[in-house]
Amino acid sequence: MEKFAKMFRIFMRKRNQTIKVMKLSVFLMLIGMIQVSANVYSQTGKINVQVEQVSMSELLWELQEKSDAVFVFNTKDLENLPEVSIDMKDVSIAEILDKLLFGTELEYILDDDVVVIQKKLPEVIQKKAPLAEQAVQQEKKIIKGTVTDTKGEALPFVSVAFKGTNKGTITSMDGKFELETEESSNLVLVISSIGFETIEIAIQDQSELSIVLESSIAEIDEVVVTGIYNRNKESFTGAAASFGVDELKAVGSSSALQSLTTIDPSLNIVDNNLFGSDPNKLPDIEIRGKTSIMGLKEEYGTDPNQPLFILDGFETNLQTVMDLNMNRVRSVTILKDAASTAIYGSKAANGVVVIETLVPKTGKLQMSYKGDYTVTMADLSDYNLMNASEKMEFEILAGRYKSYSGDPLDQMHLDNLKNERLTEIARGVDTYWLSEPIRTGFTHKHNVFAEGGEEKIRYGIGLSFGDAKGVMKGSDRQTIGGNVDLVYRQGDFKFSNKLTINSIKSNNPNVSFLDYVNANPYFRKRQEDGTILKNLYEPIDEFESPIGNPLWHASLNNKDAEKHYSFTNNFIGEWFATQNLRARAKFGIRKSIRIDEVRISPYHTMFDDVSDIDKGTYSYLNSENLRYEGDLSMIYGRLINDVHSVNLVGGFNFSSNESMNNGYKAKGYTDDQFDAPSFTNGYPSGGKSVYNESEIHASSFYLNGGYAYDNRYLLDLNYRKDGASMFGVNKKFRNTWSVGLGWNLHNENFLEENSFFQLLKIRGSIGNPGNQNFAAYQAFSTYAYTNWLNNVFGSGVLLATIGNDNLDWQETLHYNVGTDMVLLRNKLNITADAYRKVTDPLLAFITTPSSIGTSTVAMNTGVQTVNGIESTIKVSPIYEPQNRILWNLSLNMRHSQSEYSNIGASLSALNDKEKIKPAGTTRYYDGGSPSDIWAVRSAGIDPATGKELFIKKDGSKSFTYDTSDEVVVGNSQPDLEGVFGTSFYFKGLSVSCYFRYRFGGQTFNSALFDKVENISLNDINYNQDKRALYNRWQKEGQVAEYKRISLIQRTEKSSRFVMDENTISGESINISYEIPQKIINNIGMSSLTVLANMNDFFYSSTVKEERGIFYPYAKSVSFSIAATF
């Protein structure tokens, strides 16, 4: 393989139609991070050029800068040429090249805006034919064809020539070519392009060819996009993974993050057992585990373990990423270790997700439409509820109809109640409540994008619309967005601007799914005349409460809605000072407004015992956020003597984040049809309006350096100094750094000619990124006005929070070693990493003495260490890209362990809070893990008494529960988890299937704890798990899993409820097809792809528990279409 290809690995694998300068842009990124967007060059244009004693390659770059033409050449072809001096004015490119290349072995091909410099092909010596043959006019033959890559995308600028002649051409932007020659029986075409394997095709009777070029390197993403700079992946020492939109949509079309969890092992969306598939709930997302104390989310209102999100080079939030229409996404990159994230300094300890959206392409106006249509169905298979007969039997065994007071009148009422319910059951009443709030949800998303431009300006205008109907009635989320993208190039300057406007409206169900789960099956949904009863059960004495009918509540004019509006404008200006130096300025501003409204009808059963003037409530909250960010940077890159590659990035960044919240609550509706706030009677007793505001300001200086020697030995250095207002006055600034080393063994002489390895890299890094996902005023002493206690002196103040001038930044020392391998002629790809993350110090709220006037203070305490490994393996049993046939088998996996140290007793308040929670199993102790499950060990149920027998710390047994006997009885972190799957590609048809597995972890089964044993006098009024009837102790000598039925004995947390959890689930099935060009040409399209997939199509676990407490999980089937006109 030529040295050029080995060094730069230039590729032309386009995911979204290669723009005219794609090859040049990639080439420049590989050698110097100098991004150039070239304009159309007129062949008749005149330029001036004056240089002295420069190399031929330097002169070509100079011509490119002056003419804006795109030059394509192989540096090896220019190595032996002498330095040149030239002084020419008002001349064309052709005139200059004629002079430069005269007498050399090089020639040029000039095609509009592209200049290809190549070696001259040897001429064929024509033998002189006899005069009789010369008199016969020879026939001409026209050979046409299209050149594509293995994905079927057209390749421009590909050299196509007849072997042994100087006749040739290059392909157009749509990959087409046309050659004319005399009829011959031994014609051979040579097709070549930088980054692809050269092939030869013998021409016989064909007049039109379809040619597929195979990449000369492994099928891996070649460029790492960090949001600040781009770097050739082969020369990058960090742990990063990049994916195009086609790879993401092959898994699912709901969101880019959801697809990432399937194809990359490092990113994890934490399973939300409470809210299931609720489209209006944000998930918890982690990259390589947690770096902060889990309980802090409740204190801060933000997730301190959430990664940093970068959208088109600017910081953004999780809500924006989740609402981003996936059809606008161009690529997503995950930055995992210190070498890749340290450029973001004190914000990157949790990893970084970099998202790039589509950019407009040059050429005539082009329209594209992408639509996704999804049908969702609730998954109720994990609910193990009793039917009517079972529930009555359980209630009788539990003593529900036995008077505890012994009052005969009370017993008579209970007997009548039992007989009424038994009569209803005998009549066939067995209500299945779970189907009532459920529907088949339908989601449709659309994106229309118009783009085009000419030599100086490119434009793109997009509109997007999405309407997601959840599987629960009344649950929906509607998004409307528009974006305008402009790119302007004038001389050495380039300006780009992205304007985005979004509007989001969402509604939540009026009634929680839990209310339907709890409804007893012996109750009728409606009366015989069809009317809905207000209450399912009216109490017979003052010790009981009525049971409201969820159907009645659902019929009321309640409201739980959110409106969200946002405006974002991001501007980037670049000055290409020289061939090697670029200056860039960025400024982004984002304004968002969110309005939350919750209204509860006065006819709700919760107001039955409330006076009429106080029935019904209304709450309103308006939240506004203004964020602006600026960045100034210089980017330098140079390749010295074809051996030393140097890249430098230095810059300054500043940001401000201002938030404001104001709201109020009102009460007292006379009727739920008059639902405006003005119809309320007043404010709650002691209530008042809410108002607060906060500001966070930050600034930083950063420097990145990259060096590669002969593309074999690699070095990356990062340094950043951050300042932020949220930490103590004595700790305002923090230094972060990283060092990365790499070795490309496949470029060593001893492996260079070895066809076994196409890529073999060893890399390692160390650095100390930090975390800023904390509250604005956590280090400040703040006061609250006592405006409810006014006196003659006015309003007083009370200490609300106590400050900490020495509150330090939370920083994580991150170690990483890894390897990337491609071998067996691209049939085996392996990426593996081992990492260690040490967060020191942690940040937590520590309990303070009551005499101080506030309960907690933010302080630094303790250390958290995470050790983990992750790997991705892809095998291709069939690898024939030249025939567009591929079969891949893939497996990714991860494992991690965490441990606390140096905490002592500082987090005892958090431990005490967890102990009093019904199912609180998290503790913060030295040597413990964030994922440890703490409980008292259990010896099981005593067959003689039906009571639980506990094991104390000293090993003795007791019927008495004592929290001091708590130990670690399990760990929710699995021993191994990941995704495996397969994909098959055959000439435009693609089929893939992925499965998620989880082995070796434990879980605390809350369904057993809450719905099998912990059933109180109040809980008996609700439906329960079948196991409460069939698996509990009932008679002496019985060996049972669960203790005897009782409505007055409380069940405590013990190891009986901790179970080994092994799961396997169907992540995605995908089928897509690219409609052949010859078909769609007839209907005016340039491309058409259809896709169908199914997500979450099955779930199997060794643990039987309810999944989706307040909102059920769902399965989905999607259909997508992408068309370009």
- The residue type at 487: V
Three-state SS for 414-451 is: HHHHHHHHHHHHHCCCCCCHHHCCECCEEEEEEEEEEE
C-alpha 618: how far from chain center = 35
Q: Provide the residue range defining the domain that includes 91.
A: 3-119
Report the Cα 420 to chain-centroid distance in Å: 54
Instruction: Kindly report, residue by residue over 156-168, the tens digit of the pLDDT.
Output: 767 788 776 667 7
Within a 10 A sphere around the Cβ of 564, how many other Cβ atoms?
Answer: 20
Question: What type of residue is 619?
Answer: S
Domain count, the chain: 1
> Would you say residue 846 lies in a domain?
no
Q: How far is CA 6 from CA 31, 191, 236, in A?
A: 12, 19, 15
Nearest to 423 by CA among 415, 412, 432: 415
- The three-point CA angle 556-558-559 to 5° equals 155
Within a domain: residue 980? no
Q: Is the pLDDT of residue 787 over 60?
A: yes
CB atoms closer than 10 angstroms to residue 608? 13
Six-digit token pair at 597? 């409204």
Neighbours of 913 (CB within 10 A): 15
Which of 40-49, 843-852, 866-875, 889-898 is the least confident region? Answer: 40-49
Closest by CA to 836, choosing from 871, 865, 870, is 865
Structure tokens at 522: 């012996």
Cβ–Cβ under 8 Å, residues 711 and 235: yes
In a domain, 388, yes or no: no
How far apart CA 156 and CA 159 sit, in angstroms, is 9
Q: What pLDDT does 804 receive?
A: 77
Cα–chain center distance at 1094: 19
Q: Residue 1098: CB partners within 8 Å, gap ≥ 6?
A: 1065, 1066
Checking if the pLDDT of 146 tops 50, the result is yes
- State the Cα–Cα distance between residues 911 and 905, nearest whole angstrom: 9
Q: Does residue 553 have a pLDDT over 80? A: yes
Residues 6 or more apart whose CB falls under 8 angstroms from that of 555 comprise 532
Within a 10 A sphere around the Cβ of 656, how many other Cβ atoms?
A: 16
pTM of the complete model: 0.78
Of the listed ranges 230-234, 264-268, 457-461, 925-929, the least confidently predicted one is 230-234
- pLDDT tens-digit map of 989-1000: 999 999 999 999
Residue count of the chain, please give it: 1125
pLDDT at position 948: 93
Task: Using DSSP bridges, classify how beta strands 208-212 and 176-182 pair: parallel, antiparallel or unpaired.
Answer: unpaired
- Element of type H or E holding 390: helix 388-398
In a domain, 781, yes or no: no
Predicted confidence at residue 479, as pLDDT, reads 95
Q: Are 27 and 16 in contact (CB under 8 A)?
A: no
**Dihedral angle sign, alpha carbons of residues 998, 999, 1005, 1008:** positive
C-alpha closest to that of 1101 among 381, 573, 222: 381
* DSSP designation for 1009: I
How far is it, in rounded angstroms, from Cα 311 to Cα 605? 46
Mean pLDDT for the stretch of residues 207-215: 75
Residue 559 lies in a domain: no
Using DSSP's 3-state secondary structure scheme, residue 319 falls into helix
Q: What does the pLDDT read at residue 741?
A: 97
* Lookup: tokens for 858: 């933010």
pLDDT at 363: 72
Give the pair of three-digit tokens for residue 439.
Answer: 């529907």
Look at residue 300 in the predicted model and tell me its pLDDT: 47
Classify strands 966-971 and 957-958 as parallel, antiparallel or unpaired: unpaired
In a domain, 642, yes or no: no
Quick one: pLDDT at residue 690?
A: 87
- Which tokens in the block code for residue 646? 């140097």
Q: Angle between the 388-398 and 408-426 helix axes, to the nearest 10 degrees?
A: 160
Tens-place pLDDT, residues 1061-1118: 999 999 999 999 988 877 877 777 878 899 999 998 889 999 988 888 999 999 999 9
Q: Supply the pLDDT for residue 20.
A: 36
| Residue with token string 């975390």 | 771
Q: What pLDDT does 166 receive?
A: 61
Query: Are 452 and 364 spatial neighbours (Cβ–Cβ below 8 Å)?
Result: yes
**What does the pLDDT average to over 41-56?**
68
- Give 126's pLDDT tier (boundaries 50, 70, 90): very low
Q: Would residue 611 count as lying in a domain?
A: no
Q: Judge whether residue 509 has pLDDT over 90.
A: yes
pLDDT at 151 over 70: no
**Peptide bond just before 841 cis, omega within 30 deg:** yes
Q: What is the CATH number of the domain that holds 26?
A: 3.55.50.30
Cis amide prior to 943 (ω within 30 degrees): no
Position 527 scores a pLDDT of 87
pLDDT of 245 > 50? The answer is yes
Tokens representing 1072 are 């897509």
Residue 724 has pLDDT above 90, yes or no: no
Q: Do residues 313 and 300 touch, judged by C-beta distance below 8 A?
A: no
Confidence of residue 131 (pLDDT cuts 50, 70, 90): very low
Q: How far apart are CA 831 and CA 684, in angstroms?
A: 60
CA-CA distance, 625 to 566, in Å (whole number)?
9
- pLDDT above 90 (res 467): yes
Residue 111: predicted pLDDT: 61
Number of Cβ within a 10 Å radius of residue 377: 16
Alpha-carbon distances of 197 from 130, 213, 730, 734, rounded to whole Å: 41, 7, 60, 49
Torsion angle of C-alpha atoms 974, 841, 855, 927, degrees rounded to 10: 40
In the three-class reduction of DSSP (H, G, I as helix; E, B as strand; rest coil), residue 991 is classed as strand
pLDDT score recorded for residue 848: 63
Whether the pLDDT of residue 558 is over 60: the answer is yes
- Does the pLDDT value for residue 137 go beyond 50? no
**What are the Cα distances from residue 477, in Å, to 258, 337, 621?**
17, 35, 19
Q: How far apart are CA 333 and CA 310, in angstroms?
A: 10
Task: Return d(Cα 1045, Cα 35) in angstroms, integer.
Answer: 72
- Rounded to an integer, the average pLDDT of 382-387 is 94
Mean pLDDT of the chain: 84
**Strand blocks (E) in 881-988:** 885-901, 932-941, 948-951, 957-958, 966-971, 976-986
CB neighbour class for 9 (10 Å; exposed up to 12, middle 13-18, buried from 19) = buried
Task: Please report the sign of the dihedral spanned by the C-alpha atoms of residue 248, residue 249, residue 255, residue 261.
Answer: negative
The CA distance from 858 to 843, in Å, is: 7
Rounded Cα distance between 458 and 215, Å, is: 29
Cα gap 1104→3, rounded to integer Å = 59
DSSP letters, 4-61, are HHHHH------SS---TTHHHHHHHHHHH-----PPP--TT--EEEEEEEE-HHHHHH
533 compared with 50, residue with greater pLDDT: 533
DSSP 626: E
The answer to whether residue 389 is domain-embedded is no
